[in-house]
Amino acid sequence: MLDFAPTEEQEEIRKLAQSLALDHLRPHARRAEAEQDSSTELRLTLAQTGLTSPFPEEYGGSGPLEAVTYTLIAEELAYGDPGLALNIIGSLMGPLTVWLAGSHEQQQQYLPPFCNPTSGYLQRGSLAFAESTGTYRLADIRLQARRTSEGYLLTGTKRDVVHGQRADLRVVLARLVENENENEDKVAEGKLCAFVLPSPLEGLSIQAEAEKLGLQAAPSARYRFTQAQVPASALLGEAGSSGVVRAATLYQILRAALACGTARAAFEYCSAYARERIAFGRPIVSYQGIAFMIAEMAMKLDAARLLTWRAACSWDRGEADETLIREAESAQRQAIKMAQAATTDAIQVMGGAGFMQDHPAEMWMRDAAAME
């Protein structure tokens, strides 16, 4: 039955995430941008809430959360700061993929370090999704995994891998192919699969992404695989399983939520500014040219958020893979597009001040642009 209200429990978790965002993310956003990472204290603070270890209790986690709940959390974190939020979510996606796609044995091997009460907060996970040849759509994944007698040979690229350089757990999405030198179309049709990369791995070169346009607080890297041999045990679960699709679509849904949070930050910030700023003797928001821009922002934010929630609901209900992919990719596309428009308009509302680094609007505009 149609319903648009979070549960009481979800509302409590959302409020917790919001207070973390306002007290611990927003104030440190510029520093994190400069240092290109989150601070250890912030990681510890977050770990203590249990929000960063949503894994089964048998591995020491605080218990899995629903996608809807995590969507609410991700929006709040990005409302605090998009870069730091991506830093957190990006790390989480590594172990989450192991949990969703891996065998029980693999879960036992990789999850407990992330749940360790004294050192878990220092662990970094990573999930390599997008490639130099494409976007964050599953159809664009071209990294080839060719079966060999010893395991799999990986060939291809990845970009934008949050924590790719320093990760303790590196998971990559790939396509299973049977023959050498498969043509592009065949690769695209290969079964989707996820691997945990051994470290070090011969044939893998990792390069930190520098001079990024936005989202600097989430350090990221590029991977280049040239015939990198990984053992058979590196494959998480089975190739083509729903678990991999669930992990990938969860990332897309959370990226949509991050975009919503970014847009909300910009919307609220420029609204407050427009209320105070006087021009021609009146608050600028009393002019329709400004008021309508802000109304438009609010409307489109709500629209994209609803689309994101719908995808999360379907994820929680365990809808079929094709449905999840379609809905998650729609949400991701629309939310990011919306966030780019909202952050750009927020600067316009603020005039010259919006362009200055004294205000966070310019950072949010770059962050939203960097979500592609």
Partner 1 sequence: MIDFTLSKAQQAAREYAHQVALEEMRPISLECDRTEEIPESFFWNMQRRYWGGAAAQARAFGQDEGVRQENLLTVISQEEMAWGDAALATAIPGPGLAAPPILSQGTPEQQARFLGIYMDGQLHWGALALTEPGIGSDVAGMSTTAVLDGDEWVINGHKHYITNGARADLIVTFATIDKRLGREGIRPFVVPKGTPGLIVGRIEKKMGLRASQTAELIFDNCRIPKENMLAGRGEKKEGFKAAMGTLDATRPMVGAMAVGIARAAYEAAWEWLREELPAGYPPQQRRAWEEELEELGQEIEMARFLVWRAAWMADRRIPNSKEASMSKAYAGALVMKATATAVRITAPGEDSERKQLIQKWFRDAKVFDIFEGTAQIQRLVIARRLFPNIDIP
Nearest approach in angstroms of CB 147 to partner 1 is 32
How far is the CA of 361 from the CAs of 25, 32, 74, 348, 349, in angstroms?
Answer: 15, 16, 19, 10, 10
Nearest approach in angstroms of CB 298 to partner 1 is 6
Residue located via tokens 């999360």: 312
Sign, CA dihedral 341-347-349-351, equals negative
Binding to partner 1 (CB under 8 A) within 318-337 occurs at 330, 333-334
DSSP state of 129: -
Binding part of the chain for partner 1, among 1-9, 104-112, 206-214, 359-367 by CB under 8 A, reads 1-9
Residue located via tokens 């956003």: 29
Binding residue (CB under 8 A) for partner 1 from 4, 181, 211, 352: 4
Binding to partner 1 (CB under 8 A) within 216-245 occurs at none
14 binds partner 1 (CB under 8 A): no
With respect to partner 1, which residue has the nearer C-beta, 201 or 313? 313
Sign, CA dihedral 64-301-323-258, equals negative
With respect to partner 1, which residue has the nearer C-beta, 1 or 185? 1
Nearest approach in angstroms of CB 6 to partner 1 is 6
Q: What are phi and psi of 48, to 5 degrees?
A: -65, -25
The three-state DSSP-derived secondary structure of 31-68 is HHHHHCCCCHHHHHHHHHHCCCCCCCHHHCCCCCCCHH
With respect to partner 1, which residue has the nearer C-beta, 6 or 203? 6
Structure tokens at 39: 């601070």
Binding residue (CB under 8 A) for partner 1 from 266, 304, 339, 361: 304
With respect to partner 1, which residue has the nearer C-beta, 18 or 107? 18
Residues near 181 by Cβ (< 8 Å), separated by ≥ 6? Answer: none
309 binds partner 1 (CB under 8 A): yes
11 binds partner 1 (CB under 8 A): no
DSSP state of 301: H
Binding part of the chain for partner 1, among 75-83, 136-144, 213-221, 289-297 by CB under 8 A, reads 289-297
What is the contact mask toward partner 1 in residues 30 to 69, using x (rule: CB under 8 A)? Answer: --------------------------------------x-
Binding residue (CB under 8 A) for partner 1 from 140, 150, 302, 372: 302
Binding residue (CB under 8 A) for partner 1 from 285, 341, 350, 368: 285
Q: Are strands 125-128 and 169-177 parallel, antiparallel or unpaired?
A: parallel
With respect to partner 1, which residue has the nearer C-beta, 1 or 200? 1
What is the contact mask toward partner 1 in residues 141 to 180, using x (rule: CB under 8 A)? Answer: ----------------------------------------
Q: What are phi and psi of 371, to 5 degrees?
A: -80, -10
Count of residues engaged in binding partner 1, rule: CB under 8 A: 37
Binding residue (CB under 8 A) for partner 1 from 16, 188, 291, 353: 291
Cα separation, 180 vs 149, whole angstroms: 14
Q: Are strands 169-177 and 191-196 parallel, antiparallel or unpaired?
A: antiparallel
With respect to partner 1, which residue has the nearer C-beta, 105 or 322? 322
Residues present in the chain in total: 372
Exposure pattern of 85-101 as b/e (b: 16+ CB <10 Å)?
bbbbbbbbbbbbbbbbb
CB 72 within 8 A of CB 10: yes
Binding part of the chain for partner 1, among 5-13, 33-41, 87-95, 162-170 by CB under 8 A, reads 5-13
Q: Which of 99, 97, 72 is nearest to 85 (CA)?
A: 72
E strand residue ranges, 18-168: 125-128, 144-147, 151-162
Nearest approach in angstroms of CB 222 to partner 1 is 27
Chain residues binding partner 1 by CB under 8 A are 1-7, 10, 68, 271, 275, 283, 285-286, 288, 291-292, 294-296, 298-300, 302-304, 306-307, 309-310, 312-314, 317, 330, 333-334
